[in-house]
Structure 1
């Protein structure tokens, strides 16, 4: 065995022993770590002995009655919150502690990798994250994170709270209505019976009994399902209350660094809870029963089944389940984005690379593109009916043939979502296994965009269809998409370019399709947001790329013909690599130009 191998084995054994020791300590009796809150801390500093009666959740100190009066009346501490010592003790002992040491290497977690959504130590960086472009210091972002996410988490708690209450209210109302429904539908059966009882009086008693039995059975089934639903809602409520209490404790007691780790865990738990609550909404059954008369009864008495009509559960329209539709929570993944500012007027661009795409045609290739995992560039080669997948580092590529001309592509995890322009469906291609799943949307599918793990599709002529990360239907944004081919979505904003009525217009609207602002261009094609909300537009006729501030008030040219921009058709901004990709439809030289953004 080589010395280096023995050293590696020794290091692994040491790490395993450290992990085991830490795990053993983590399961020790938590009462051993209970803090003492008996003595007033200011008095103790003066070598006095006073019983603590109050605690300040801002200062994280305990006070006797006299010191608490001085503390609360002091001008600098007027906004501090004092609570009784028992409540203060309970809050402090309930706050969850977070380990700031790497589980793999037993070193302090110093940095955070945005690419892999994970805190890392120095050893992690050396072994696995040396090429990651988005490493930041945890200390630098910890103070930003708490105020930035505090209000968001509070809002998410309030929204789930409201949704659970409404679901429970609807379910209880539905249970109450079923008893009245039973009487009403039985009356319908009786009325129908009277119309035909002269024709088959002898057969009527048998049929009447069977039909009423079916009503009772269906009512019982309805109630059973609703009671199960009610139990599920109450279960989610219990989980929600526990999470809410945990967040309340972290919010007032924990330090910034403790909050950094707590917010990640709470956001992950809330994401899971959000998914389960959304499932309750999607599967919610506002159940009733109905009586559907059998109109062929008179013509074929002997051939009839032994009932007067069909009894079935129906979904009532009196209560709109759309009222319960929750927004897409930002905690779909426990990912921390480092806040920052970038102004359109200070953005700098420099050429980085070129990805050549051979073409048998001289013009007319849209070349829409996207990136995956910060490693691959995927290009929709419309003219050659294939996807080209480049390695961004060395520009090597491989092909993925398609049955039709691919129009637009977006990437999400290991999946590529493709639209085909004149086809009524999109395809989801799993890159690792080459598995293809088709999703029919009923209308021509054009531009694509991904935001908060939702897929947005221009479906002409309906508007914009929104799908979840499994490409299942969520909702429809009804709007005029005549002449609209390109789309980008960011932070509750829709951005799309239109060539309607012979003029080019760039539109920015909210998530309901209501216009916020618009700008005129000669021939706007591809559009894209960067992570700060700045907007990039490729203008095909002017051979220029523009950057626009998020409010649409500031605009300037950042790329032109002198930079190799000829007939630009597509544009994509990679938030992780901080690169801008522009598709150029030159007469003899098609391809994607990559630029670094500073």
Structure 2
């Protein structure tokens, strides 16, 4: 797999905080979340369409269907389900712990939670807030970022300079530490490989689905500084990267070779 930055798009809105998450919507638009702040809806070319009418304090976002997204609010200890069409919060899922990383798969949500005794768990929950599975995991920091796909959860631990993969039974499938210094944003390609954005080294690294092999796709020398979030566009076999400060988006295509 090879890649090279194809275009760099400057975001034309004033981001007041560091970026905590970014996703691409089914219709091609983007959502960029300011850390504990506002949720920005952008066009596919980086222009601000609007700030969603939802309270500040957001951390992570995931899309559920064409018109619905879910957003974590760590300090409020809840997940808000938001309808994009009528711009209203349709449901609030209350949790008893702080929640950060969030990802949707099929009919459930995976959310990273932190208990009072500093234990970290990834909970698989339904839309009524019922915990279907609770997976205790190893991490030196909060569960900032995770991806839930194919009955597996991959999460980054920037404090431990590692990326982990667990199955739903709680078994650790792999742990990757090679040349990582600040792994944060994650996404999966169509083959189950994981791409990780390292905001310290400036690298985008792809890890094979078995966790055995890896390759640096993009590095700081390619003009990529402080990559924070990464999103894989399945219909184009391309990726978008958002930098930590929310100043620009970088786009690159993936090819075999």
Same fold (TM over 0.5): yes
Show structure 1 runs of 5+ residues with no match. Answer: 1-345
Change beyond 3 A, Cα 1:360–1:450: closer
Q: Deviations over 1:533-558 (max 9, x none)?
A: 11101112111111111111221111
Structure having the larger proportion of residues in helix: 1
**Contact kept? 1:372, 1:411, Cα under 8 Å:** yes
What does residue range 35-434 of structure 1 map to in structure 2 within 5 Å? 346-356=1-11, 357-360=13-16, 365-382=18-35, 385-392=37-44, 395-413=47-65, 414-434=67-87
- Is 1:550 matched with 2:238? no
Change beyond 3 A, Cα 1:408–1:422: same
Q: Deviations over 1:209-261 (max 9, x none)?
A: xxxxxxxxxxxxxxxxxxxxxxxxxxxxxxxxxxxxxxxxxxxxxxxxxxxxx
TM-score, structure 1 as length reference: 0.38
Which of 1 and 2 has higher RCO (CA within 8 Å, sep 6+)?
2
- Residue 472 (structure 1) shift: 4.3
**Contact kept? 1:374, 1:577, Cα under 8 Å:** no
Change beyond 3 A, Cα 1:394–1:489: closer
Q: Deviations over 1:134-162 (max 9, x none)?
A: xxxxxxxxxxxxxxxxxxxxxxxxxxxxx
Separation (CA, whole Å) in 2 of partners of 1:543 and 1:350: 13
Separation (CA, whole Å) in 1 of partners of 2:5 and 2:197: 17
Residue 124 of structure 2: aligned partner: 466
Q: Deviations over 1:319-359 (max 9, x none)?
A: xxxxxxxxxxxxxxxxxxxxxxxxxxx24344245251423
Change beyond 3 A, Cα 1:378–1:471: farther
Structure having the larger proportion of residues in strand: 2
SS at structure 1 position matched to 2:221? helix
Q: Deviations over 1:56-107 (max 9, x none)?
A: xxxxxxxxxxxxxxxxxxxxxxxxxxxxxxxxxxxxxxxxxxxxxxxxxxxx
Separation (CA, whole Å) in 2 of partners of 1:591 and 1:393: 10
Show structure 2 runs of 5+ residues with no match. Answer: none
Runs of at least 4 residues off by over 6 Å:
none
TM-score, structure 2 as length reference: 0.85
**Contact kept? 2:46, 2:249, Cα under 8 Å:** no
The two structures, once aligned, show a CA RMSD in angstroms of: 2.3
SS at structure 2 position matched to 1:466? strand
